[in-house]
Every structure is written in structure tokens, then in C-alpha cells.
Structure 1
């Protein structure tokens, strides 16, 4: 078993056969390319987009509802704002939401899973029953219920998604931890009197990292999809902030004549979810190849 620190183990993959396995799969490479392109567009949106002034409420009514052409590759919306620009900024917002949600939900779920899996007994029972209560409710329904008591803002949307996301990490890490507690390196650490914190975070956690990293990569797409669903229902980010789900909902009113208002934002959601899913599958295969 690999007992190195989590980050050390991840960095060591760069010199192992894991990357050879990753790059041997064309779908993994495709996912990496999609993710990198989206990241570059999001980070440099102000430079790469043709009409950055169209991010807010300001538009060009002389060009409203213009179909895709040389001036507006994806067409314009009902206020004459460039749809391509707003989609790129929608990616930027979606990635920020995913980063915030996962940066909170992952540590919470990991700690709950580690403690419950290692300690067992009443601690295990109490923590995992709470986890099961959250898992019993469909994620979108739980997020909608939370948003029903809150104002539909970016911050509240992130809080709602975070509240229903941590249990998945708790369950994942709990299952891995329960298996790892029977391994020889854990028993050896207990024999020499290592503290619970040392055993959990220095011995068991590194061997949970491949599963955690893979799930986080996959979950970026799913968090974006969940946030878009809330916005589509009017419970997420509100106009004029460019949000992919809101754009799909708004454009649906003008189908099929102004098809681009809905089709391009929907395709944008499909692409980002596909990219992170392909990348996550590739990372899982790479970790498995490393052994």
C-alpha cells in the first residue's frame, strides 16, 4: 500500500506509467483538451471574447435576435447581446461555482467518512445515519427545497448545492476507509501507538486520494449541471448575470424561430459536462494503472 502524503502521491504520477495509460486513451485526451480550452476561455474571457461589454444589461437593440453570422458567431439575444460572449462568461461563472462547492463539500465529506470509517461504533452509526438522510432525498429536490427558503442569488445557489453534495464524499471515503482499516500498515501504526489523527490523515487518507480526485473531476460537470438546472427553474443566478441555465430557459420562449438562443447554451452545458466526465474516467484508469 502507498503511504505517502496525498499531494506527493499525485505529483509522482507524472513520472509513472499512469500518464502513459491516460494518454493512450483518445477519449481521455479529448476530455483534457475540452477542459483546458474551457479553462483558458474562462480565465481570459475579457481578452478572448468579442463583446465583453455585453456581459451585463447593456446591449445593442439594433442587432437584437440576430442569427449567427460573421459578426456574431452564435447570434445575439433579445437585447442584442453577443451570445458567444455570454456563454464564455457563463463558463467562468459555472467553474467558480463548481470550485467553491467542491472546496467546501469535499473536505466536509472526507472528514466525516474518515472519522466514521475508522472509529466505528456509535460514531459510525450517528455520522452515517445523518449522511443517509441527506442521500435519501433526490439532490435536485433537496437543492430546490433549500432555495425555496432563500433568495435566488449566486451565493445561496452555491450553499444549496454544497448542502446536498458532501454526503456523496462521506459515503465514498467511508467505504474506502472501512476496507483500509484492516490493512497491515494501519494495524502496524496502531501497534506502535500512533495517534488517531496520524493514522487517519497520514496513513489512510493518501490511499483514498485516487477515488477522491476522480470523483471531484467528475463532479465539476455535475455541479455545473445542477447549478444550470436551478437557474433554468428560476432558483439560481438571476439575469443579467450570464448563466448557462438561465440562457436556456430564456431562449426556450423563442423556439423554434430563434433556435440559437437555446441550442448554443445547451450545447455549452453538454460540452463542459462531457469534458469533465471524459477527464475523470481517464484519471480513474490512470490511478488504477498505477496500482
Structure 2
């Protein structure tokens, strides 16, 4: 890991990604200390300062009820990162396990698991997430469920392809000859060879999870007010363009910074680890 980090810091693009992601994570963790109006993350109104352009007091301006937009963007980062972490923590183990089982066992197991995976992959991700959210109450928890439902099949397909190739390698055949169990071979022999590809995809996907979650909120199917969310802030501000441009521009830039940062790191990891995706 130390070698990977050193290599990342030597590449200008990956270093830029590390800085951007580091700023996002730092802001999300220490939002209570760096935001000028912490109470503005909730149901607060200040009609004396409503819809104000950027100033030294309100760096990103204020929204339609007078809340500090900079404060709400920083707290929205916290929501986005929590959602991304939870989605990947759930989706990756599910997808990896199914991919290992289908790739190594083959036969009817492969047919059933991969056809199920193909069904999910055949549906556009955002459409699938919207369908799930249409059946559930629009909350943060349900937003995580919706995004998780659409995310695990991509890891299943990735690990399945790697496992199907790796199971013919000598080290796997040697493990079979000495009587190692199927679970041991899948999770102790094959899985470590999948880790570089999984790690690279997770880094790239983190930004896309944030983007999809923001898209759901933009459509009114994600996190609901007064909880700050980047997608819902963009949607609200879009109705008042171009006059109140700051309502849309700053939340939109916040999404761009997060997605761009994770993508730069993911691309660099793909080159460092020699992953061909």
C-alpha cells in the first residue's frame, strides 16, 4: 500500500485526485467545525438574508429561505460519502461472492446465477434505481437500498470473468489435487487475484454512486428536505436560473469535484496495478 501511495503522489493527475478526495473527506468529517452556520443544515429560516449572492459572510450565497449554501454543501458531502460507503460495503461482497460461485462451480450454478445477473444488467442503472425508489418512501436508507440493488451485478460480472480464467491456472489445480475445499480455493486462492480489479472498480464506482444518488435526489426520489443533498439543491436552484445562479452552480461543482477526484484516483490505480478493464 505504501508503494501504491508513493506512486500516486508522483503522478500529477493522481495527486490532484488525492487532493480533491482528501478535501471532500476532510470537509465531510469536520463539517461541524469548518462551517460558519452549522444549524443551517436543518429546518432553519432567515428571511432577512434569503437568496443572497456570494459574499464574505456567505461564501456560496444563501438559498431561498436564507440558509448558508456553503454549510449545506459541506454537510451534503457527508451524506454522499455515507451513502457511497454503505452501498459499496453491501454491494461488493454480494457481487463478489456470486461471481466466485458462478465462475468456479460452473454448470447449472453458473447458468442460474449469471442469468439472474444478466437480468439486472439489462436494465439501465438509473431506471432500476428509480423503480425501486418508486416502491419505497424516499429516504436516505431507501436510497441506499435502491442504489445497492443496481450495483452488485457489475462486481458479479467482473469477478466471474476473472474466476473463470483463474480456475485453470496451476495454483488452483494444485490446491484441488491436495484436497483443498471449494470455499478455500475460491476465497483464499482465487479471490486475492481479483483484489486489484475490485479495488480499482470500487474507487471509480465511488464517484458514480455519488452521481447516481444525486440524480435520484434531483428527480425527487432521494434524500428529502430539509436534509442537505447535492442533487436536490441543484434541482431546486435550476428553477431560478440564470438570476440566482449560485443555487445551482456551487452544488453542481461540488458533485463535479467529488466524481472527478475519485475518477482520477481510479484511473491511476488501474495503471499502477495493471488492471485491464
Work out whether the TM-score is over 0.5.
Answer: yes
Report the counterpart of residue 73 of structure 2 in structure 1: 87
Distance 2:199 2:166 in 1: 18
Matched, 1:32 2:18: yes
CA RMSD across the alignment: 1.1
SS in structure 2 of the partner of residue 148 of structure 1: helix
**Aligned with residue 65 of structure 1, among 43, 51, 73:** 51
Cα deviations by residue, 1:139-198 (Å, 9 ceiling, x for unpaired): 000111111111111111110110010000000000111111111110110010000111
- How far is the alpha carbon of 1:19 from its aligned partner? 4.2
Matched, 1:177 2:163: yes
SS in structure 2 of the partner of residue 73 of structure 1: coil
- How far is the alpha carbon of 1:20 from its aligned partner? 4.5
SS in structure 1 of the partner of residue 162 of structure 2: helix
Residue correspondence of structure 1 range 195-214 to structure 2 within 5 A: 195-214=181-200
In structure 1, the gaps of 5 or more residues are: 1-12
Residue correspondence of structure 1 range 130-149 to structure 2 within 5 A: 130-149=116-135
> TM-score scaled to structure 1, two decimals?
0.93
SS in structure 1 of the partner of residue 270 of structure 2: helix
Report the counterpart of residue 235 of structure 2 in structure 1: 249
Count of residues in Structure 1 that have an aligned counterpart in Structure 2: 275
In structure 2, the gaps of 5 or more residues are: none
Matched, 1:128 2:110: no
- How far is the alpha carbon of 1:85 from its aligned partner? 0.5
Q: Greater relative contact order (Cα 8 A, min sep 6): structure 1 or 2? A: 1
Cα deviations by residue, 1:115-146 (Å, 9 ceiling, x for unpaired): 10000111011100000000000000011111
The answer to whether the 8 Å contact 1:74/1:82 transfers is: yes
Q: Which runs of 4+ in 1 moved over 4 A?
A: none
SS in structure 1 of the partner of residue 149 of structure 2: helix
Distance 1:110 1:30 in 2: 30
Distance 1:140 1:19 in 2: 33
Report the counterpart of residue 138 of structure 2 in structure 1: 152
**Aligned with residue 190 of structure 1, among 163, 176, 179:** 176
> TM-score scaled to structure 2, two decimals?
0.97
Matched, 1:118 2:104: yes
SS in structure 1 of the partner of residue 154 of structure 2: helix
